[in-house]
Chain A
Amino acid sequence: MKLIRNILLCLWAACIALAGQAQAGEDFITLASTTSTQASGFFDYYLPLFQRRTGIEVRVVAVGTGQALKIGENGDADVLLVHDRIGELQFIRQGYGIDRREVMYNDFVVVGPEKDAARIDKMKNAVTALQKIAGSGASFISRGDDSGTNRLERRLWREAGIDPADAQGTWYKEAGAGMGAVLNMTAASGDAYTISDRATWLAFQNKADLVLLVQGDPRLFNQYSLMLVNPEKHPHVKKQQALLFMDWMTSTQGQQAIAGFQMAGQTLFKPNARKQ
């Protein structure tokens, strides 16, 4: 019995010691961002470059844009990197964020099965493509999680004059999940379509029969912006370090680094920060 007691004591001491070590003060900021930037591997490439330069670590919490904005609203992050212009402007208007800077963009794409029952391959108009999917008997899987991608998708349906809520559970399925999970579902279903951001799509490893069908519609433009969580609302926000990060990301060097992130010969995010 002494043995067991000693084992427990040792374990406990080890836990305390290690936990103490991990909690030691470090220079870091918390960035709430979208799943697309994480799942594509962008942050794994990009953030160490910044850390090497400034010594500041950027800790990323990757969630849907809707949730990222909520995290910012609560003051649980210092900086946001999200992609929903309308939501961002409202966030600023409500006073939760300041200093919105557009940094990079890519685009959304419509993906679906190779056999393409809705015959939308190479269409240039995303809205008519969605109308064709709706009338084809094939199914559409939506993020349904209030992410930036989800918000864009809902705008497209509105423009197409279709209320997918009517088809809920028949051909229109709300997954309530991240981009990767939805791509997994779409790939598994065999006849479903979905809308993805290009970065997640390119990095996705489980495509099965899925192919890229529609791209190039200006409506599918996908702008990513930085915002600082308003330090007046949340005094603990690390304004100085956060601004360093925002400045670097919009600097020539930071912008070149964004352009340098490639996968399968394609640039996933194209820098477009305005010159300061």
Chain B
Amino acid sequence: MQGLGGVLQTAVQMMLELDDSLLEIIVLSLRVSLTATVLAAVSGFLLGAVLAVWRFPGRGSILVLLNALMGLPPVVVGLMVYLLLSRAGPLGNLGLLFSESAMIIAQWLLVTPLIAALTQQIVADLMLEYREQLLSLGTSRWTMLQTLLWEGRFSLLTVMLAGFGRAISEVGAVLIVGGNIMHHTRVMTTAIALETSKGNLTIALALGMVLIALACLVNAAVAFSKAYAERAYG
């Protein structure tokens, strides 16, 4: 293995050349993790907001569970989805195992509790500020939920970023349900794992740096649009 300088050089070289196989892996990583994050945002925002706006029996337990699930190991999620999608499992006849969809489902399940728990916190805080005013304006609970989600959009964008970070960086779930199949389910993290097992530590680490660069890019894009919108709407 080369020193850190060598690794950096390899990483830069990889990004500059951007050959087809690397590009394919990058595109797949982004596609899987972004889709999973958007899906998880839809379900997580809704779940979190419902928990913040409504009071019902069992709500406390759900909150505790959600907070605990934020730390759920990806391997466990992967295993559950594997058992679900396996031909021998309940959804086996869909034939989804070892596919992109399977990876999206796994990451969606992985990220939803994180987004829901953080959303609940944000919307609950907004409730304190907005509740009386919105009731006075004549909003129903359901409208209040929608309004508060929209009012919290800048914070929720950050929540989505956190979810995206968890999705793009995990290897345990995608490895099990995706199978690390070349051209089909090989993403950045599983490629790194594979290169490590081949002893190609330099390439593995360089891929890791490409991953970091990607994450930076996505974060910067969001931070930029967020700053722009926040300046306009306070």
Contacts and interface: CB of A to CB of B under 8 A. Distances in A.
Direct A–B contact in complex, judged by CB atoms less than 8 Å apart: yes
Interface of A: 1, 3-4, 7-8, 11-12, 15-16, 18-19, 22-23, 30, 35, 38-39, 41, 43-44, 57, 59-62, 73-76, 178-181, 183-184, 187, 203-207, 234, 236
B38 A75 contact: no
A179 B194 CA distance: 11
Contacts of B183: 57
DSSP class of A's interface residues: helix, strand, loop or mixed? helix
B198 A15 contact: no
Nearest to A26: B184
Given A19-B35, A23-B101, A59-B184, A3 B225 contact: yes
Interface in B94-133: 95, 97-101, 104
Interface string B215-234: 00000000001101100010
Contacts of B150: 1
A184 B196 contact: yes
A8 B196 contact: no
A1 to B, nearest CB: 6
B199 A236 contact: no
Interface string B180-221: 111110000000001011111100000000000000000000
A204 B196 CA distance: 10
B233 A1 contact: yes
A192 B87 CA distance: 41
A35 B193 CA distance: 12
Contacts of B199: 180, 183-184, 187, 203-207
Given A15-B38, A38-B194, A4 B157 contact: yes
Contact of B194 (A7, A12, A39): A39
9 contacts: A19-B31, A23-B100, A30-B179, A44-B182, A60-B182, A61-B98, A184-B196, A205-B201, A236-B95
Contacts of A180: 196-199
B1 interface: yes
